[in-house]
Structure 1
Amino acid sequence: MKRLYFVVLCLLMITGLNAQHRNKRPKLSFNKSGKEKDIFLKKQWWVGLKGGPNLSKAVVEQTYSVVAPTNYELSEITKQYKHYKNLGGQATLDITFYFRGFSASFQPTYRHSRFEYTNNYEWTSAAEGSRLFQMKYTQLQKIDYLDLPLVAKYEFGIDRIRPFIQAGLYTTKLLNANKIVEVTKTDFASGGVNEIVDDPIIVGATDLFAKNHWGFIAGAGLNYNLGNVRLNLDFQYKYGMSNIASTKNRQGNDRLAGVGDSLDNIKLNTIAISVGCLFPMRFLESGFKSLDKK
């Protein structure tokens, strides 16, 4: 009987030691090396929002004018464009699939673009070099687009801060457009200089622009992994490849034609800067720190 008690006692001690050993094993942490972390690092879906300012440049392919001069060159009244001067903005839904440093991203974007040009007309007296009257038209275009870009990215490194390069293409749909025309008149006929500023002409100009156009995207940026979220700084250059003006309705607005305006054939280039926040769709839970290094 004593031997039986001794054997039972030994079995209980062995069982207790095994239980303590199991309890002392470190729990799997996604912050350390492990299969789950490797899966997270190698393959992930990211979804989030980003937005910021943009600046645009109108690249003229063909110039058009309502006025046809007879005693001077057309170049004297050619529109003068201001490049990257008028601030616009964009807001983007970013849907990205990441795999081993490479990403494919779909980024539907609401984009508000602005660009400006001026016209100058002069009337002179019979006396050579004597100016009698001058008119300056400053024309601001405000255009709303829905961009549908597909972008490929490559990230460098595996630390919290991850620089990347990107390239892709986009197609865009016109949503709305407006034009503001400011007219400044300068009268020299009285012997002095008398300047008159008319009330601005504000008109809807959606019909003057093409319904769709497309282009290429190139850029770079930084991702910063903070816990379960990713902060994003994004630089994009959109290079327009097709005409944004409507060839059918170039002179379709009577008020604009009355001030001598006819929209040129234009390709639009845009520099955009965005900041945003992205969330992982795999292993999204409070106890999981996505990429924190220990």
Structure 2
Amino acid sequence: MKHILAAVLSVLLVFTITSSFGQKKNKMYYGYQTKKAQPGDKFLNSQWWLGFRAGANITEVTPTQSYSAFSPISYDLKEKEYNTFGLDQISGQAGIEITFYHKGFSFSLQPNYRRQRFTYINEYEWKSSIIDTLATNELPNQLNIQYTHENTLDYIELPIFIKYDLTRGNLRPFIQIGGYYGTLVGADRHLKTSGTDRASGAIGPFKNQETVIGAKDFYIKSSVGIAGGIGVSYDFWNVRLVFDATYRYGMANITSTKNRYSKNELVGIGDAMDDIEMSNISCNIGLLFPLRFISSKYDSFN
């Protein structure tokens, strides 16, 4: 009887030890060894990026309707001459970028502070009549005056873009399309006067001191348009360097029609704002940081 009881106890002891070891082994396998995330997993196809961007821009102005403060009688009034994409009109912008990436497509919000500049010239010419010239037997009296209007506009803008990556490596060229809405926060006009005076006794050119005039009332408070461009991004370390070039097309007249003749100092020289639309070419460079990682070593994924 004792031998049978000892045998039964031995079998139970072996079964208990074997079962305990098996449970421990399974716990180690299932509790601590998990499958490493693979680049092809669905979870790895999305990424959030956050960073800052800055760049330069140059503006083109298209007049849709011309205006003047008075009609010429005894002098010639030339149409305004706009300086299109002049290098002296280069300005800048800076802001942040918030981008969500999913399977090659990116949805990007890029709030920024933007300054844009454009220049136009008014030119007037007066000459004495032929009869007066023949009577005095002298050279005709002549006065040429040129007014250069350098306009500076400051906007807070909210552009939205959809991007598509053409490749999936570290170097990723992309195309983008979107639109923007801007709120005018400030505007100035720098007025420069120059010309040639052969009528008052002093023969030769002249140049007057520059005048700065507040011009915010000349423009409506908003700017809206569409945009498209190309760019390239490069991933290194754990950041993304982005460069893009974008053409922006303004879709509305930015001149305030009710304030066209509101500045006496400009009306006095015959100036009035035309109805204008603005287009713009901007180049930007940005540095973005990923907001999601796959390991404690901060290895990003997209």
Query: For this structure pair, what is the TM-score category when the shorter chain's length is used for normalisation?
Result: 0.7 to 0.9
Cα distance change, pair 140–151 in 1 and its aligned pair in 2 (3 A): same
Residue 231 of structure 1: CA displacement?
0.5
After superposition, the C-alpha distances for 1:113-167 in whole angstroms (9 at most, x for unaligned) are 0000101101101128945111000100000011111111101111111011000
Alignment counterpart, residue 60 of structure 1, candidates 57, 60, 63: 63
Cα distance change, pair 192–40 in 1 and its aligned pair in 2 (3 A): farther
SS at match of 1:260: coil
Cα distance change, pair 246–36 in 1 and its aligned pair in 2 (3 A): same
Residue 70 of structure 1: CA displacement?
3.3
Cα distance change, pair 265–147 in 1 and its aligned pair in 2 (3 A): same
After superposition, the C-alpha distances for 1:43-68 in whole angstroms (9 at most, x for unaligned) are 01111110111000011111111121
SS at match of 1:35: coil
Q: Is 1:266 aligned to 2:276, yes or no? A: yes
What value does the CA root-mean-square deviation take over the aligned residues?
3.1
- Tell me the equivalent position of 1:236: 246
TM-score by structure 1 length? 0.83
Map 1:54-133 to 2 at 5 A: 54-70=57-73, 76-85=77-86, 86-127=89-130, 130=140, 132-133=142-143
- Whether the 8 Å CA contact 2:47–2:301 is kept in 1: the answer is no
TM-score by structure 2 length? 0.81
- Tell me the equivalent position of 1:196: 206
- Whether the 8 Å CA contact 1:160–1:291 is kept in 2: the answer is no
- Whether the 8 Å CA contact 1:141–1:178 is kept in 2: the answer is yes
Cα distance change, pair 71–187 in 1 and its aligned pair in 2 (3 A): closer
- Tell me the equivalent position of 2:158: 148
Supply the AA of the counterpart residue of 1:77: K
Identity fraction in percent: 38
SS at match of 1:221: strand
Residue 185 of structure 1: CA displacement?
2.8
Whole-Å separation in 2 of the counterparts to 1:205 and 1:182: 15
- Tell me the equivalent position of 1:280: 290
Alignment counterpart, residue 235 of structure 2, candidates 194, 219, 225: 225
SS at match of 2:153: strand
- Whether the 8 Å CA contact 1:227–1:290 is kept in 2: the answer is no
- Whether the 8 Å CA contact 2:294–2:301 is kept in 1: the answer is no
Q: Which consecutive unaligned segments of at least 5 residues does structure 2 have? A: 1-9, 134-138
Number of aligned residue pairs: give it.
Answer: 274
SS at match of 1:207: helix
Structure with bigger gyration radius: 2
Alignment counterpart, residue 216 of structure 1, candidates 205, 226, 242: 226
